[in-house]
Amino acid sequence: MRFLAARLAQLVLVLVTVSAVSFLLLNHLPGNPIITLLGPAATPQAVAQLTVQLGLDKPAWLRYFIWLGNALQGNLGSSYVNHQPVLTSIGQRLPVTLELLVLSQVIALALAIPLGIISALRPSQLVDRLSSGAAFGLLSVPGFILAELLVYLFAVRYNLFPATGYVHLTEDPFQNLRSLTLPALTLGLGSMAVYMRVLRTDMIATLQQDFITMARSKGLPTWWILLRHALRPSTFTLVTVGGLNVGTLIGGAFIVEYIFQVPGLGLLTINSIYARDYLVVTSTTVLVAAGFVIVNLLVDLLYTFLDPRVRSARFAV
Amino acid sequence: MRDSPSEPRLTEAVVAAAAPVAAAPGSLNGAVSPAGPAYVGRTLGPGFWISIGWVVLMILAALAAGVLPLQDPTAIGDNLPRLGPTGGHLLGTDELGRDLFARVVFGARTSLIVGFSSIAFGIVVGGAIGLIAGYYGGRLDAALNGLSTVLLAFPVLIFLLTVVTFLGQNLFDVTLTLGILSVAPIARIIRANTLAYANREFVLAARALGARSRRILIREILPNVLPSALAFSLVAVAVVIVAEGALSFLGLSVRPPTPTWGGMIAEGGQVLAQDPLVALWPALAMFMTVLALNFAGDRLQVYFEVREGGL
C-alpha cells in the first residue's frame, strides 16, 4: 500500500510539473492563437477584442491556475482555434493512436519473441547472427528514414498500401487496416529490434540456470522447456522496455503520425503547437505524462506476476 | 542502492525518451551475451576500427567542407535539376539543381557539430553532477532523482519543438537545447557508475591515507567511470544526431537554405516517385554514421566490461 501511495504522489507531482512547464513554455513562444485565427492583416481593434474575449489578456500564470482549477473538475477547456472542447478532440484522436499502438506492438512481438528464443537457443549460430545483425541495423535507422523507405517500397514501387489517407475503422475495417499498415510497420520494426535483443540476452541467462538443466534432465522436449519454463522468467527486461515504449507511444508517435498523416494524438499535438493552441498542447502533454507514469506502475505490478519472488522483495519495504 | 530494482529501467528509459522514434536502449543494455566466448571482447575487432574510420572521415569532411572543391550547396539554378549521378555530380542534383554530394557533405556539418558538441556539453555538466550526486548522495541526489523522473515523463519532442521555437532555429541554440536535454540522462548513468565505485576498497584506502574528497573523486573514481562514459557517449551522439535529424525533418532545426540531412530527406520524400535518389543519399549518410557510432559504442562497452571481469 505504501508503494502505491508513493507512486500516486509521484504521479501528481509529475503531472503538475509537466503541465506547468508546458503551459508556461508555450505561452512564451513568439506568436499566439490570435494570429492563427485572424491572420497577420487583422486590425488592432479586432486583435484587442479577441484577446479579451479569449481571456488571453490575463497573465500566463493566472491562466494556468484557472486551467488547472477547471481541469481538476474535469474540464480541460476548449481549443482557441476551432472552439472544440479539448476533451472531445482527445476522445476522437486517442482511439486512433491506441489502434496504431496495438498494431505496432503486435507486429513487434510477433517477430521478436520467436526470433529472440531461437537466437538464445543457439547463440552465434546462423539465425542468431542474422537476426542480431538485422536488429542492430534496424536500431540505427531513424524512424523517419524507415518510414520513407517503406513508403518507397510499398506505396511508390509496389502499390500495396497507401502512404497517407487514414480510413476510420467504422467506415471500412479492411481499408482501415491497410491505411495503418505502413505506420504500424514503421513503429513495430523499431520496437522489434529492441525487444529481440533484450529477450535474447535475458533468455541466454535463464537457459543457464539450474531449473532448466533439471527440466532437460527430466527429458522434457526443448520447445516445452523454452515456452513453459524459460520464456516467462526471461521477460523482465522485455516487459520493462516494452512498458516504456508503450508509455511513450501513448502520446502518439509524433513523427510517424506526421509522415503518414494519421489523425492521432501526435498529429493533434504538432498541429496545435504550430497554431499556439496552448490548452490543447498542455492537455495532450499531461495525458502523455500520465500515460507514461501509469504504464510504468502497471509494469512494476506485472513483475510480481512474472516472478512471484519479487512480491516479497518489493512490497515488504 | 535502495532503489536498485528501478535503476536499469530508468537508464534505458532515458535513451528511449531521448529519441522516441529510433531509440537504441538495447545497445546500452549490453548486447553482451553471457554465453558467448570470453575472448571476443579482448580485441576491439576490425568492425570497430571501420566504424571509427567512417566517423573520422565524416568529421574531416565536415570540417573541410569549406575548402574542398565542392559546388555551392545552396546555389539554385547553376545546374540542371534531377541529374543522375555523373562525373561532374557524383551523386547527381536535386529538384532545384543543387549538387547532392556537396549538400550531403555540408549536411554532415550540421549533424556532427550538433551531435558531438551537445554530448560534450552533456558529459561535462551531467558528468560533474552525476559524480557529485553519486559520491555525496543526500539532497542533490534526491533532487536529481526527482528532476529526471519529471523529465522522463515529458514528451521529448514537444519539449524540443517548443524550446527550439523559443530560442531560435540556429546551430548554437539547437545544440544547446539538445545538450541541456542530455544532462539528466548522462548524470543518471554517471551517478550509477559512481555509486558502484564509491565504496570500493581503493577508495576507502585513499580516504584512510587522508585524501580529500575532491582528490578521491578526480584521481580515484573518475578514471574508473570514464571508460564506460566514453562508450555511452558514442551511442548518445548517435541518439542526438537522430533527434536533430527528426527536428530538421520537421523543418525545425537550422533554417534553410543551410543543408541538413533531415531536411534533405524531407525534401527527397516529396519526390520519392520521380527521383528516389534525392532522399537516398542523405538517408544513407545518416544511417551509416548512426550505425558506426552505435557499433563503436557497443564494442567499446563490451571491451571495457571484459577487462573489468578479467581483473
Cα separation, A277 vs A31, whole angstroms: 11
Determine whether the interchain pair B294/A139 forms a contact, defined as Cβ–Cβ distance below 8 Å. yes
pLDDT score for B154: 76
Angle between helices A278-306 and A2-27 in degrees, nearest 10: 160
pLDDT score for A277: 82
- The per-residue pLDDT for range A261-274, each reduced to its tens digit, is 888 888 888 888 88
Q: Comparing C-alpha atoms, which of A102, A29, A154 is closest to residue A264?
A: A102
**Which of B16, B22, B250 is opposite residue A141, by nearest beta carbon?**
B22
**Which of B33, B250, B286 is opposite residue A123, by nearest beta carbon?**
B33
More confident residue, B35 or A3: A3
Range B277-295 burial, b when 16+ CB lie within 10 A, else e: bbbbbbbebbbbbbbbbbb
In a mutational test of the A interface, the residue from B1, B48, B157, B299 whose CB has the highest number of chain A CBs within 10 Å is: B157
pLDDT score for A111: 93
More confident residue, B186 or A314: B186
Average pLDDT over residues A233-237: 84
Residue A31 CB coordination number (10 Å): 11
A259 to A87, A148, B89, B250, B263: CA distances (angstroms): 25, 8, 30, 9, 13
Helices assigned H by DSSP within B137-170: 138-153, 156-167
pLDDT score for A122: 87
Judge whether B245 is closer than 8 Å to chain A, CB to CB: yes
Cα separation, A248 vs B155, whole angstroms: 7
Range from A118-127, A286-295, B145-154 that averages highest in pLDDT: A118-127
pLDDT score for B276: 82
pLDDT score for A1: 64
Which position has the grid cell 529526471?
B148
pLDDT score for B307: 52
pLDDT score for A311: 54
**Which of B9, B12, B161 is opposite residue A273, by nearest beta carbon?**
B161
pLDDT score for B151: 75
Q: Comparing C-alpha atoms, which of B183, B239, B231 is closest to residue B18?
A: B239
Collapsing DSSP to helix, strand or coil, B99 comes out as: strand
pLDDT of residue A160 exceeding 50: yes
pLDDT classification of A309: cutoffs 50, 70, 90? low
Residue A260's closest chain B neighbor by CA?
B269
How is residue A85 annotated by DSSP? B
> Can you tell me the ipTM of this complex?
0.80
Q: Comparing C-alpha atoms, which of B293, B3, B301, B240 is closest to residue B145?
A: B3
Return the number of CB contacts < 8 Å for A and B. 188
- Per-residue pLDDT of chain B (311 residues), as tens digits, is 333 333 333 334 334 333 333 333 333 333 444 444 444 446 778 888 999 999 999 999 888 877 777 777 776 766 666 677 776 666 777 777 777 888 888 889 889 999 999 999 999 998 998 888 888 877 878 887 777 777 777 777 777 877 777 777 888 888 988 898 888 888 888 888 888 888 888 888 988 898 888 888 888 888 888 888 888 899 999 999 998 998 888 887 787 778 889 988 988 888 887 888 888 889 999 999 999 999 999 888 888 875 554 44
Cα separation, A167 vs B294, whole angstroms: 38
* Mean pLDDT taken over chain A: 83
pLDDT of residue A144 exceeding 60: yes
Collapsing DSSP to helix, strand or coil, B283 comes out as: helix
